[in-house]
């Protein structure tokens, strides 16, 4: 199992990605996918939302991280933890369930609550870290770019 | 509302995409997204699974179709129907829910049953056409490429 220290490390990588997206003018949501092999933590992938950068409807933080990793065998996902700066939307929730990722660590869910209950109902362990940096990144974007944010979550 | 004739048209476009993928050596699952504006049916997008073609973990039929369409306003999705040759996996189910697509028409669910019940529980109208061509395309691929198929649905 990951220790609490590893969770902070995983989330830090996700926050780096969120900040990178913010600098590019994008939606500041980042993710990372980590695993532990023989006690050594390995970063499988890390990426960020690319709606604005790539005119994309499906590259959210979590899905972009899965896409960047390319094709992986089922057991890689089944021994990994997904870190994300914001509570995952229904699409990203479904992607986590599809690949049987057993654990999701969420930076914050104050600005948006996604499929946390559904993840739990499908056997995924969900941890919310209530990270202030994640909250600030997101609330700033929502305040400054309400239209882009609503588009990203399918709202008018 | 779409008529039964339009459903056959929408599924036909999805089947064309599935066949295109098969010819490319890919997973033969295709989708299309259609809407009706002032009584005229309009094809918003159509694409296919690209796991093998693009080394992709997230480009399934439905998500590839959404991606190809680019950024759309919420009301476009809310007046569209998603056609897909195979019952949608959990990820594609989540994408349909994220964008509030109100109706999904499925070619077949004999080879795989995805998130149909969850779609219905979230208010999406689900129709299964039991199309023989869709069944044959998929069963041939599963028989000839069991490893790639299992990878596509996150199974070992």
Given the structure tokens 């009706």, which residue do they identify? B36
Look at residue B84 and give its three-state secondary structure: strand
**pLDDT score of A6:** 80
What percent of the residues of chain A are helix, what percent strand, and what percent coil, each to the nearest 5? 45, 20, 30
> Which tokens in the block code for residue B106?
């499925």
Q: Where are the domains of chain A?
A: 4-153
Q: Could A98 and B90 be called an inter-chain contact, meaning their C-beta atoms sit closer than 8 Å?
A: yes
CA A56 to chain centre: 16
Digit-coded pLDDT (tens) for A6-22: 898 999 999 999 999 99
Residues of B whose CB is below 8 A from A71: 51, 55-57, 151
Digit-coded pLDDT (tens) for B2-44: 554 489 999 999 999 999 999 999 999 999 999 988 888 899 9
| Contacts of A31 by beta carbon, 8 Å cutoff, 6+ apart | A14, A17, A46, A47, A48, A61, A62, A64, A65, A82, A83, A84, A85
Planar angle of CA A55, A59, A60, nearest 5 degrees: 120
Q: Please confirm, yes or no, whether B62 is among the known catalytic residues.
A: yes
Digit-coded pLDDT (tens) for A20-79: 999 999 999 999 999 988 888 899 999 999 999 999 999 999 999 999 999 999 999 999
User: Cβ(B86)–Cβ(B29) under 8 Å?
Assistant: yes
- What average pLDDT score do residues B70-97 get? 97
CB–CB contacts below 8 A, A to B: 101
Residues of A whose CB is below 8 A from B95: 58, 90-91, 94
B4-153: CATH architecture: 3-Layer(aba) Sandwich (3.40)
Given the structure tokens 């995805």, which residue do they identify? B114
Residues of A whose CB is below 8 A from B116: none
pTM: 0.96
The Cα A116–Cα A16 span in angstroms is 23
Residue among B69, B90, B100 minimizing CB distance to A94: B90
């Amino acid at each position: 199992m990951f220790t609490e220290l590893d969770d902070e490390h995983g989330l830090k990588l996700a926050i780096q990605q969120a900040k990178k997206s913010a600098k590019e003018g994008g939606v500041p949501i980042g993710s990372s996918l980590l695993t532990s092999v023989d006690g050594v933590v390995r970063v499988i992938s890390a990426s960020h939302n690319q709606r604005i950068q790539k005119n994309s409807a499906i590259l959210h933080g979590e899905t972009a991280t899965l896409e960047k990793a390319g094709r992986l065998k089922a057991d890689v996902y089944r021994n990994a933890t997904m870190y994300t700066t914001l509570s995952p939307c229904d699409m990203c929730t479904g992607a986590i369930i599809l690949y049987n990722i057993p654990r999701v660590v969420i930076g914050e869910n104050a600005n948006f609550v996604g499929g946390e209950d559904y993840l739990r109902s499908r056997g995924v362990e969900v941890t919310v870290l209530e990270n202030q940096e994640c909250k600030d990144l997101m609330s700033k974007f929502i305040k400054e770019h309400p239209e882009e944010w609503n588009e990203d979550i399918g709202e008018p």
